[in-house]
Structures are given as C-alpha cells and as structure tokens.
Amino acid sequence: MSGLLKFITCGSVDDGKSTLIGHMLYDAKLLFADQEHALELDSRVGSREGKLDYSLLLDGLMAEREQGITIDVAYRYFTTEKRSFIVADTPGHEEYTRNMAVGASFADLAVILVDASQGILIQTRRHARICALMGIRHFVFAVNKMDLVHYSQKEFKKIEKEIKKLAIDLDLHQIYVIPVSATEGDNLTIPSSHMPWYTGATLLDTLETVNVEEGMKETGFVMPVQRVCRPNHTFRGFQGQIESGKIEVGEELTVLPSGERAVVDGVFVTDRKETHAQRGQAVTLSLNREIDVSRGCVFVKDTELIVSHMFTASLLWMDDTELMEGKNFFLKIGTKLIPASVMEMKYSIDIHTGEHIAASRLYKNEMGVCDIVTAEEIVYDSFEKRRGMGSFILIDRVTNMTSACGVIEHSLRRAENLTWQKMDITREIRAGKLGQKPVTLWFTGLSGAGKSALANEVEKRLNVSGRYTMLLDGDNIRMGLNKNLGFEQEDRIENIRRIAEVAKLMNDAGLIVLTSFISPFRSDRENARNIIGEENYIEIYVSTPLEECEKRDVKGLYQKAREGKIPNFTGITSPYEEPEHARIVVDTSMQSLEDSVETIMKSLTEEGIIGIH
C-alpha cells in the first residue's frame, strides 16, 4: 500500500464538499493555529450564525468567495499517522466540468457527495462518469446531510441501493458508501452516535486503509524517454520515469516504435549509480550500443505496446470553440508531441445518462467517441490496460489551448478503417492544416495609387508570420488566364469575375489571397464579394488621390491617357467609383508605404483576420 493517497472530492453545488473536508481536517487536529484563527474570524462575517464555516478553509480564490462557490481545483495536504493525503477539491457546476476532470485525472480515489435529502441527482451521475473516464477505480460515496433526514437508516438504505445500481451502470471497480453529516461531523473521524445502525468505517478510516493499487495489472517494464542526456562525447543516457516494472543492468530492452534492441549497461536512479531501478523512479539508462533513440520513444521489456497511427478514443471536450471533424491538433501522449487530427466523430455521450447520440461536433464539457489519426506512428496502449500509455491531450495549434483530454479505447488498423475515404476534405480541414483563416484581401484604387507595392509588402509580412499566401495581380492574370480579354466594358466585368473565382478556389485550398486590380466599378466589386463570400472578402481601398497618382505616373500611362492614346483610362476618361464600405482605407500620399502596411496589418490583426501570430 502506498504511503500517499491522492483523492478528489466531488458533488453538486450545495452538497457541502468544502465543508466536509474542512471539518475532517479540523476534527483530526490537522489545522495550523493561524488557519484556525482566520477561520473563526471569517466565519463571523459568514452566514452560519457565528458557527464555524469549515468551507472557508478551502474556497481560496477571491472570485469564489464572492460567488460562494468553488470554481477551480484546490489542493489540500494533510498527514495522519497512517498516511499522507493530497485532496483535490473540485467544482460541482456543470460549466466547470473541465476543472473537475483536472482533479479527477490526478486522483486514485473519488469521494462523491450525495445529499441524503435528495438522493442521486443527474449531477452525481455526471461526476461519477467523469471520474470513471479519467481512470479512477475506487469510489467513496459520502451520503451527506444525514442530520436533515433525522439520521434515518431507511433513507440511507434507499440511497445506497441507488448507488449500487449506478456502480453497475458505470462499471465502477470498488465502492464504499458511508452516511455522514459534514456540518455536524458525523462519521467523519469518529463513529456517529446518531447512527448506531451503521457499523462500517468512518470516512477518515476508509481513506487511511483503502488500497488503490489492488487490482492493478500493469505488467512488464515501460519507460517513455523524456530526454537524451549528453554531458560529453563518451556518455549518452536516456532519462525518464519508469511507468511500470523494473529493469536491471545486463537486461535487453526494446525501443519503440523502431523495434531495435539493446542491452542496458548503466542505471542511474537520479544521481546514484545502481544495478537496477523500478516503477516510479526517475532514471538515466545507458545502452551497450548506438541506436536511434529520441524523446518520445518508449523502452519496453516483457510487454507489448501498440505501434500505429490510428485509434478510437473517448474525449472530454474542454475548449470554448467546438470540435469539428477534420480539425488539426498537437497530440501529447507520454513524452511524445505530434500533429494529429480528429478523423471522424462517432457519437457524443450524454454525460448524465450515458446514452450515445449521433453527432458531428462536440461542445464544451461534452464527452464523445471519435477516431484520431496521428502524423506518424506512435506508441500507445488502451487506457484500460495502461493508464500512462493510454491517455492524451489535444492542443489547439492556433490558440495553444488544451482543448481536450482523451483516453484510448482501441487501435484502428488501416484495413479496418474505411472512414478515411468516406470523409470529405473540406475548406475548413485544408485551412486547419495550414493553421490559418483563408480570406481574400481585395486591394482597389487608381493606377499608381500604390496597390501592388502595398499588396507585395503585406504578403511578405504574412509570410514572415508563417501564413500561406498567393498574390494575384495584372502580371500573372492578364498574361495567362485572362489574355483573351481586352479593356472593353464586358471584358472588364469578365476580368474581375475570373479573378474572383480564382481567389475563391485558392481560399478553398486554404490560402490567403491578395488581389491588386484597379477594379473601379462598384458593381464588379459587389460581384467579387458575392463570389468570394461576404465573410472572406476584405476590401482595402488605396485612396491616394488622382493628382498624386498622376504626378507619380510611374508607367507614363496618365500622360498617354491625357494625350488620348489610351481609351477608357480610369480617372481620366473612365470613372472610379469609390468604395462605400471598405474594411480598410489607406492613402499613400498621406502616409509612407511602411506606415500604410502597418495600418493594414494592425486592422487585420485587430479584426482577428490573420490570427494571433
């Protein structure tokens, strides 16, 4: 039995979790005097008519004390003569499900509060389900507020029956059911005189004696490589924490995913040279021959892990923006960080009833089952067999948020999997792969206004920040695609239509497109907007006045137009219709090229068009 027990407390908002733990610590004389003092002071301001409010001990954040509920996980530490404990006190509210999952992922045992006057609520089911998903195998159900049901054995038995049914539904490994009163202190540390009919252990007794390692069946040696240690040219060691089993100098191990073998010729347990090492220890291993090993590889002996790049997993979605099929992530499993995407959503799980619901998206605090594909083969196992090699997180590649956590149900072989072909690759998927929002930046303005120069500079800036772009201008369009078009009105309309269609296709391919054309007519630009799509069409009006453009006359076109050598020249013999709703306006006669670029970049960033970088 381990000398350290990590457990989580959960229950609905008013179930009294914080009070339960606070009171237990108080009764077990595990509080420091100044904390006790603060508790008494705080209670006078609090509600319980001058009585001690034990929950104040745990509700730490200002926001929580103001709202009177627990928002985030709080960790508490106490030690009795028998054991050391770390308690994760977690919020009960549905909107904080992810915070509860954080606490559950850390714990070996869950204390779930059930209100004796209300019985099992849907929240109770949700909490138990999340704990089970995160791998907790031992559950203590504290049937609280027994004082409110007059310490009735009948009431307790009724609830106990419900709990046993729940345990079967959720396939919980081991359960304990204890009648308590958190405010009055019944059965917390000493047996309650109000409930002589209960002959089982108190809450603290249970926590002190439960063996959470019982029933664990992880066999063989497994160690994910955290880092390669090279202090000099002669020594090369592999550092990591042993996940399971033991290893000795002289034993042969296998490196996954490569499958290469080597013999261990040196073992350091932290800084001590040893002959062997075991589960839980931080070690440095050296091998008898040079083989290719890097961070993310896994050492194994006498056991098998799966090497593949597809698996089916249960996810808990924790991000504000919902999960869509095809979305790209960084997946972290063990010490491996690798690009991955969610290939197919199979169904979501009703977190209260467990019912499977057909779904193609997953929203915050929802659970679901999906297929995931990684960029390369990775080493894993099913979560049921091996917690450490079957759990992972998904990290959003743009926001860096930890968007989901998941557990691997089983592997998928290519042959078994036909869904890949079934899936349609959409614009979102392509853009997601590039990690950007594909839009068209439509530069319009007179000849010589500075459109091309600006578009050029903006494109450079976008590329520097890792964006994938394409610039469409007179040179690459008029010479090829549109070389059969002249400058008559119909041709000008057709010219703009083709450019807009090409821009749209390139947006579909995931690219950010910049176009640089005079495009003088509102109706043409309106047409382009319709083709490209309202939300993707960003009109940038380069409003440099005619006098300035004519003065610059870089290509000598204005002069030729004035001389009548060019018919239908915009600004001279043909009108320029100013945009009425341009998203961005810059005038290169008023500010320098650099400043204009800055203005454009700033608005694009502020409007969230080019992302965060």
Which of the residues 461 through 520 are near another protein (CB under 8 A)? none
Q: Within positions 543 to 582, which residues make up the interface with another protein, using CB under 8 A?
A: none
Q: Which two tokens stand for residue 364?
A: 């915050």
CB of 168 to another protein, least distance (A): 27
CA distances from 91 to 13, 127, 210, 319, 418 (A): 7, 10, 24, 17, 41
Q: Which of 572, 583, 520 is nearest to 549 (CA)?
A: 572
CB of 243 to another protein, least distance (A): 10
Q: Within positions 327 to 366, which residues make up the interface with another protein, using CB under 8 A?
A: 330, 332-333, 335, 337
**Contact criterion met (CB below 8 Å) for 12 and 123:** yes
Phi, psi dihedrals of residue 44, rounded to the nearest 5°: -60, -35
| Amino acid letter, residue 573 | T
Q: Which of 139, 207, 208 is nearest to 170 (CA)?
A: 139
CA distances from 489 to 467, 484, 558 (A): 36, 14, 20
Question: Which of 318, 351, 370, 449 is the binder for another protein (CB under 8 A)?
Answer: 318
CB atoms within 10 A of CB 243: 21
Please tell me whether residue 84 binds another protein under the rule CB under 8 A: yes
Question: Which of 183, 187, 281, 536 is the binder for another protein (CB under 8 A)?
Answer: 281
Please tell me whether residue 375 binds another protein under the rule CB under 8 A: no
Peptide bond into 257 cis (omega under 30): yes
In this complex, which beta carbon is closest to another protein, that of residue 86 or of residue 170?
86
CB of 60 to another protein, least distance (A): 3
Q: Within positions 214 to 273, which residues make up the interface with another protein, using CB under 8 A?
A: 226-227, 229-231, 235, 237, 239-241, 246, 268, 270-271
CB of 191 to another protein, least distance (A): 28
How many binding residues for another protein (CB under 8 A)?
71
Q: Which of 482, 479, 520 is nearest to 499 (CA)?
A: 482
Stretch that binds another protein, among 277-285, 419-427, 453-461, 501-509 (CB under 8 A): 277-285
Rounded Cα–Cα distance for residues 435 and 429 (Å):
9
Please tell me whether residue 71 binds another protein under the rule CB under 8 A: yes
Q: Within positions 284 to 313, which residues make up the interface with another protein, using CB under 8 A?
A: 284, 295
Please tell me whether residue 99 binds another protein under the rule CB under 8 A: yes
Range list of H helices, 426-544: 427-434, 451-464, 474-476, 489-508, 522-532
Q: Which of 435, 404, 438 is nearest to 320 (CA)?
A: 404
In this complex, which beta carbon is closest to another protein, that of residue 316 or of residue 584?
316
Question: Which of 121, 393, 485, 585 is the binder for another protein (CB under 8 A)?
Answer: 393
Rounded Cα–Cα distance for residues 63 and 93 (Å):
15
Please tell me whether residue 402 binds another protein under the rule CB under 8 A: yes
CB of 28 to another protein, least distance (A): 15
CB of 236 to another protein, least distance (A): 11
Question: Which of 188, 293, 315, 405 is the binder for another protein (CB under 8 A)?
Answer: 405
The residue annotated as part of the active site, out of 18, 181, 341, 519, is: 519
Please tell me whether residue 529 binds another protein under the rule CB under 8 A: no
Rounded Cα–Cα distance for residues 456 and 458 (Å):
6
CB of 117 to another protein, least distance (A): 30
Q: Which two tokens stand for residue 262?
A: 């080597």
- Which residue's structure tokens are 């959409």? 426
Indicate if 519 belongs to the active site.
yes
Q: Within positions 46 to 65, which residues make up the interface with another protein, using CB under 8 A?
A: 59-63, 65
| Amino acid letter, residue 384 | E
The catalytic residues are: 519
